[in-house]
Structure 1
Amino acid sequence: MELRDIEIFLALAEELHFGRTAELLHVSPARVSQAIKKQERAIGAELFVRTSRNVRLTPVGERLRDELAAGYRQIQEAIAGAAAAARCVSGVVRIGFASPWCGDLVVKAADVFRQRHPACEVQIIERLLADRFGPLRTRELDLQLTELPAEEPDIVVGPILFREPRALMMSVDHPLARNQTVSIEDYGDCVVIGVASVPDYFRDFHLPLRTPSGRPITHGRLAASFQEAQSLIGADKGVQPSTVRAALYHARPDIVFVPFRDAPTVDYGVTWLTDGDSVKIHAFTQALLDVASGK
């Protein structure tokens, strides 16, 4: 007798009504009837007496109910115990970030995570954008909240947590510094400071080689950190795209952040190694999602 057939038999023995049993188990009344007939054929005796008015157990059916019920409860308890063990999150989870606004979200999510999983320690680690996936690949991190895209064969990209409007960082002496907004086309009149050691797909998405009309964009020096980029920008050595929110965290008297009116947002998501998938990672990702959505 299959487990589903046992479940149908026990439910009918409790309800003594084919329609209610079918509704309880989310199956059709015909499925209930077929299962009972199959069991009766296998046993060689009727399990239920069916009339137009009611359904009742036969003596054989009563015995089967009593003997199956205890075993079925044990099966349910075993399954529930296995599920609880799978949900148990323990050990250490290490999460990295680069941008301070990502750090704010990670810290808040860590508080939520600790409440849900007190047996698991959280370690928060800042890392450089220029070494995007190095700490993941060396197992220093379990997951990280990072700027997208992340098109790596050994990296899993989880859900996008939030999107930030883009701004162009420039010196206060730059010709565009007094504009209310800038356009992607304005790159053609600028020298763009790049980010060191990022893959081509990331550079092309955030630091294009041409404007939408096809004008070449001049690329200048590469910066290994945000602070190095800001030093170059403050000295009017070039511009670099960032986010509008960055002005709240990285304000300097020699730099302005001018919003784009036509650039795509900067999206942030969770990443982890393909072979590093774990319950801990999904549990922390859920905490990040809940905090980001205000739950």
Structure 2
Amino acid sequence: MALAEVRGSARGAQRRRHTDVEIHIREVQFSDGYVPLRSGEIDVLLCSRPVEEPDLTVGPVLVREPHALVVSARHPFARRACVRLDDLARDTVLRSPRSLPDDWDAHHVPARTPDGRLVGRGEDGGDRPGAHCPGRRRTWRLPRIRPRCRLLRPPDVAYVPLGDAPPYEWGFVWRPPVESARLKAFHQAALTHVGGEPDGGWGVP
């Protein structure tokens, strides 16, 4: 299930129930981290796990998506149907933007492969998928989102499935001070769309 589908469904349900409410969807850059949320620019953020921030409330997982490795089209991995976590030790994996917490980066790119080898890390990968890949051997791991791959993939970049990596998990995050009946309804609409049971609350354990 696509992230845009969940977001659009929740937005449509909220508009039908609360006709006086305007919902604005804004794209947040990967490198922005939680800054727009904490500054009050946005009320709720759809982002990937883990989120270990004591000042933020984390809702349940809404979507799970498989991982991929982003590489230059000239990289040997680009010719493979699939790569494994152990393959990460064979090259340099770019860092996540430094504005993101270290625990998020460590969760998605382990310090060592399952067979115990050290994973070399490179420079900050930035926001654009593959921005540092063409013409180089460096690799960067990021979520595989099939519709966006077709839209955003530069011509010299390949997305190779990372077969044994756990899926990316996406859900809403918000600041407790903005909790309201309308925000709760928006969250519940998204939860219902993915097959969760509305619980009359936030769905937070």
Range of TM-score over shorter length: 0.7 to 0.9
Q: Is the 8 A contact 2:91 2:137 kept in 1?
A: no
Q: Deviation per CA, 1:91-147, whole angstroms, max 9, x where unpaired?
A: xxxxxxxxxx53453233212210111121111111112222111111111111101
Unaligned regions of 5+ residues in structure 2, if any?
Answer: 198-205
1:269 to 171, 175, 179: 171
Q: Pick closer, same or farther for the CA change 1:103–1:132 going to 2, 3 Å.
A: farther
The aligned residue for residue 116 of structure 1 is: 17
| Residue number in structure 1 paired with 2:202 | none
TM-score by length of 1: 0.61
Q: Note closer, same or farther for the CA distance 1:237–1:181 as it changes in structure 2 (3 Å cut).
A: closer
Who is 1:136 aligned against? 37
Alignment pair present for 1:281 and 2:183? yes
Per the alignment, residue 216 of structure 1 pairs with 118
RMSD, aligned α-carbons? 2.0
Q: 132, 148, 151: which is aligned to 1:232? A: 132
CA distance in structure 2 between the partners assigned to 1:152 and 1:118 by the alignment = 33
Distance of 1:248 and 1:109 partners within structure 2: 25
Distance 1:113 1:237 in 2: 46
The correspondence for 2:158, drawn from 240, 256, 259, is 256
Q: 2:50 aligns with which of 149, 165, 182?
A: 149
Corresponding position of 2:100: 198
Bigger relative contact order (CA 8 A; separation at least 6): 2
* 1:133-167 deviations in Å (ceiling 9; x for gaps): 11111111111110111000001110110100111
2:72 corresponds to:
171
Q: After the TM superposition, which parts of structure 1 deviate over 4 Å for at least 4 consecutive aligned residues?
A: none
TM-score with structure 2 setting the length: 0.86
Distance 1:187 1:276 in 2: 41
SS at match of 1:186: helix
Task: Give the secondary structure class of the aligned counterpart of 1:130.
Answer: helix
Q: Between Structure 1 and Structure 2, how many residues are aligned?
A: 193
C-alpha spacing 1:180/1:237, structure 2 compared with 1 (3 Å): closer
Q: CA offsets per residue over residues 35-74 of structure 1, 9 Å max, x none?
A: xxxxxxxxxxxxxxxxxxxxxxxxxxxxxxxxxxxxxxxx
Mapped to 2, the partners of 1:294 and 1:171 lie a distance apart of 39
Compared CA separation, residues 113 and 235, structure 1 to 2 (3 A): farther
> Equivalent pairs: percent with the same residue?
33
Name the larger-Rg structure.
1
More helix by share: 1
User: Are 1:181 and 2:82 matched, yes or no?
Assistant: yes
The amino acid that maps onto 2:160 is: V
Q: Secondary structure of the residue that 2:53 maps to in structure 1? A: coil
Aligned residue type for 2:14: F
